Amino acid sequence: MVLSVPPFPGKNNSKLEHFEETVDYVLSQLEQHRGITPEAFPSVSETSLYYPWNLLDPIDKNWCISWLKTVIKYATISLETSEADLAQRFEVLLSNSAKALAELSGKAGSGSVKAGITCWDSNANSTVLTINEPDFADADVGAKTWGSSILLSRWIIRKEIDVSGYKNIIELGSGTGLCGLAIGKALLDSESDHSLVVTDYIPSILDSVKSGFLSTFNLEKTAFLESNTISLSQFLQATISACDWFSFNQYTVDNESKESISLLNISQTQNHEIVEPPIANYSDVKDSISFIKNQKNSYLSLDWESSLHKFDLVVASDVLYEISHALIIPRIVNHLLSTKNILKDSSGYTRDFFQNSSALFKRAPIFVIVVPLRKTHWNEVNVFMSEMQKLGFISEFQKDTTLEQDISDWLDSLESQTNISVSRKNEILSCSNIADDQTYRIWIWSRTNIPEA
């Protein structure tokens, strides 16, 4: 049952349970907006009485924010003057309303939250990837799931990027780990061996990636071995590893002295130039981002030496937001990506726009990156492109699109190949509607001139 006006302290016959149930209702709405189906609250209880805020309406939302501030004040005062039992209820009311207020006020204040991202497979069946977004204070930009990873995950689940032909896969700068989860889902039924390594450099982000795997694949905490490896199927292993891109500098220096590379070998020495980390990188200013230093790190660092040319698929999304990233990422990809073709198999790439890509048809090792084309970051994009070319990579495929345009184009192509119903199409369009008008580039790179397998 719903109240016609929100409960207010001392007004409208408002009782404590009206505040409790209304705050619970707000929290359940927020969960729904994050793609999580809330636990049976509130409408199932015949007796509950709450005010049904419409948080999608900006006016209602602002009013709800002011209301929550009032509830916090009311709960704080009442908490101090109440007997133990009642005080406990006010304490819960206080903490729940503070949580709702923080989330309504923006991600930076909301602490760690679960979210569900919906993707559709090539038959338009939906699948939800559940991620855990850590507290912003612990995870910096990795606390948020960026549009780039949503786009890439959708391409992976739709098999437009068909990951099933690749055996050793690595993700760089995973953030909340959405792409890794999509790769895991896409390979779950595969009957050939696959190994997936998901990496980032902040331990709390890696903890979140771990939670994402547990929730998305419905697994117990103990499913992860001490090495942070998990078997998602008989054939598929995922490992969560620490990897700071700028630790590659030290590896190249050590390796250079070991191998005593001739100074006359120009291409090698170019590779071994040090790339200074951005000013905000923790290794540069240890004290200003002390949260990383203080976090417990139980993750093994990616071993550069044994990773040389080990991977036939490298993926990354939104990792070029500093010039130093645009300089170091190509070198890392050059180090990690295999130099041999894997297998000749032209299945998978059905969309017309892939037809000209010989690397995809030969299943050459590829680097797939999604880059948001932010007005402020063209320099990074251009430096990245020129560094990739210098290292002998070619752009096999690129497509610029928005999240909305992408779904709509894909539905059109599906319509021409299958008989997807109009109502299903509209349903997908309506639930894919993430407020984001950014243009992204999906970019696939391969090495030039590598021999066929």
Ligand X SMILES: C[S@@+](CC[C@H](N)C(=O)[O-])C[C@H]1O[C@@H](n2cnc3c(N)ncnc32)[C@H](O)[C@@H]1O
Which has the closest alpha carbon to 76: 87, 84, 65, 85?
Answer: 87
Residue 346 parent element (H or E) = none
- The residue (of 7 and 134) whose beta carbon lies closer to ligand X is 134
Look up residue 301 and give its DSSP letter: B
> Residue 297, by phi and psi: left (phi above 0), alpha (psi -120 to 50) or beta?
beta
Q: In whole angstroms, give the CA distance from residue 58 to residue 434.
A: 16
**Least Å from the CB of residue 412 to ligand X:** 26
415-422 long-range contacts, CB within 8 A, separation 24+: 417/350, 418/123, 418/124, 420/124
- The residue (of 27 and 319) whose beta carbon lies closer to ligand X is 319
- The residue (of 349 and 384) whose beta carbon lies closer to ligand X is 384
- The residue (of 24 and 200) whose beta carbon lies closer to ligand X is 200
**Least Å from the CB of residue 110 to ligand X:** 17
- The residue (of 104 and 198) whose beta carbon lies closer to ligand X is 198
**Least Å from the CB of residue 417 to ligand X:** 29
**Least Å from the CB of residue 180 to ligand X:** 9
Spatial contact of 107 and 138, defined as CB atoms under 8 Å apart: no
Q: What angle do CA 266, 324, 169 make, to 5 degrees?
A: 85
Q: In whole angstroms, give the CA distance from residue 118 to residue 447.
A: 33
Q: In whole angstroms, give the CA distance from residue 259 to residue 307.
A: 17
**Least Å from the CB of residue 398 to ligand X:** 18
- The residue (of 202 and 444) whose beta carbon lies closer to ligand X is 202
* Residue sitting closest to ligand X (CB): 175
Q: Give strand pairing partners of 309.
A: none
The secondary structure of 162-185 as a DSSP string is: -GGG-SEEEEES-TT-HHHHHHHH
**Least Å from the CB of residue 88 to ligand X:** 39
**Least Å from the CB of residue 201 to ligand X:** 4
Q: In whole angstroms, give the CA distance from residue 241 to residue 34.
A: 27
- The residue (of 78 and 176) whose beta carbon lies closer to ligand X is 176
- The residue (of 357 and 398) whose beta carbon lies closer to ligand X is 398
Bond preceding residue 42 cis, omega within 30 of 0: yes
Residue type, 233: S
**Least Å from the CB of residue 126 to ligand X:** 20
Contact residues for ligand X, defined by CB under 6 A: 141-142, 145-146, 148-149, 173-176, 200-202, 205, 243-246, 281, 317-319
Q: What angle do CA 61, 402, 322 make, to 5 degrees?
A: 90
Residues in the chain: 453
